[in-house]
Amino acid sequence: MSMLLIINPGSRAGRSAHRHEFWCAELRRRGVSFEIIRTVGPGHAREVARTQTGHDMVVAVGGDGTINEVLDGLLLSARVELTMGVLYAGTSPDFCRFHGIPTEPNAALEVLLAGQVCAVDAVRIEYRGEDGEPLTGHFGCSCSVGMGAAVASVSNRLRPRLGDALGTGAAVLRALATQPPVDLQLTVDDDRVELPRTNHLMVLKNPHIASGLRLDLGLETADGRLCVVAVHGRSPLGLLRLLPGFYSGRAAEAEGVFSRLCERVTIRAEGRADIEFDGDPHGRLHAEVSILPGALRLQCATSRRAK
């Protein structure tokens, strides 16, 4: 087997170089054939994964942003035979938590070399760029509108200085105080839904949102389902009261929170509304989000092998 390691040298604010060196040294010691490409900026991992040739497995070496770019690039390449691996070197391992991939360096390497290929779900999103041009992307965790996009933008700046949990928490509090609501119109599968004054909307494949935030939704890695969750019509104080539910996982059960399992959702807004997916701002509405059942070949722990 030949591997391509796409390494983000800036993961953990550049503090993960010792992990990269350990993994590369171990792969050499074990006689594994591999190539290294180090990313130089946003979008580079996606383009490398989309255009690479000559390898059986493409390995994301970095955090959730790097994982998402590699996943997106592989699915855009339409090369269904390729396997994706993960060596985690980030700060908030939401993708790894959901898919049972260890984050401890030795255990992660053992799964990469001796795990099983699992066919897991991924998500396609069609959205608008800053100039209104139609764009297509993919993700493995979640996308959000409203507060989520604001939190992603601010937390990415704060985490290198404050750490994962504190940086995300500060970004959430800032968004609670400053992010205005937006009127949304959804089509969830075939049902039309009006959500006036939406504070926060998420379409999730992964119940782990970020830095300990989560929603207990009954989702599995290969069940062919998404969940759309929306909080609307709440004051800043009402949002603050709901916040503990995002740490306990019970927020979707709160009164007035819209939650529905689905396979696809279309989201439109009155006026501009930004969108993020898998932790990074990307563009704006409107957007069409749809599940891709079993679309990603992912190297997982043996016990997580897809049936």
Quick: pLDDT tens for 159-192: 556 555 566 666 666 666 567 788 999 999 999 9
* Higher pLDDT, residue 66 or 147: 66
Tell me: pLDDT of 146 over 80: no
Identify the pLDDT of residue 57: 96
Max Cα-Cα span within the chain: 59
Is there a cis peptide before residue 55, judged by omega within 30 degrees of 0?
A: no
The CATH number of 2-114, from 3.40.50.1970, 2.40.160.20, 3.40.50.10330, 3.40.50.300, is: 3.40.50.10330
Q: How confident is the model at residue 153 (pLDDT cuts 50, 70, 90)?
A: low
Q: Can you tell me the distance from the alpha carbon of 89 to that of 231, in angstroms, rounded to the nearest whole number? A: 32
Residue 180 has what DSSP assignment?
Answer: P
- Residues 10-27 as b/e (b if ≥16 CB within 10 A, e otherwise) read bbbeeebeebbeebbebb
Distances (CA, A) of 103 to 57, 61, 64, 87, 159: 19, 11, 12, 7, 19
Residues of the chain with CATH 3.40.50.10330: 2-114
Across the range 211-234, mean pLDDT stands at: 92
Please give the share of the chain, as a percent, with pLDDT higher than 70: 87
Q: Look-up: residue for tokens 């704006």?
A: 284
Average pLDDT across the chain, whole number? 88
By the 10 Å C-beta count (0-12 exposed, 13-18 middle, 19+ buried), 224 is classed as: exposed
Distance CA 175, CA 182 (A): 14
- What was the pLDDT predicted at 166? 61
Higher pLDDT, 182 or 267: 267
| Residue keyed to tokens 């306990």 | 248
HSE of 237, CA atoms in CB hemisphere, 13 A: 0
Q: Any idea which architecture 124-293 has in CATH? A: Sandwich (2.60)
Instruction: State how far the Cα of 273 lies from the Cα of 259, in Å rounded to an integer.
Output: 20
- Using pLDDT thresholds of 50, 70 and 90, give the confidence band for residue 304: low
39 phi/psi in degrees, rounded to 5:
-75, 155
**Better-scored residue on pLDDT, 167 or 86:** 86
pTM, two decimals, is 0.87
With a pLDDT cut of 90, the percent of the chain lying above it is 63
Domain limits, CATH 2.60.200.40, in the chain: 124-293
Distances (CA, A) of 114 to 95, 260, 300, 302: 19, 37, 9, 8
H or E segment at 95? Answer: helix 94-99
3-class state of residue 100 by DSSP:
coil
Residue 305 has pLDDT above 50, yes or no: no
- How far apart are the C-alpha atoms of 87 and 143, rounded to whole Å? 23
Q: What is the pLDDT of residue 90?
A: 86
User: Sorting pLDDT into bands at 50, 70 and 90, what band is 156?
Assistant: low
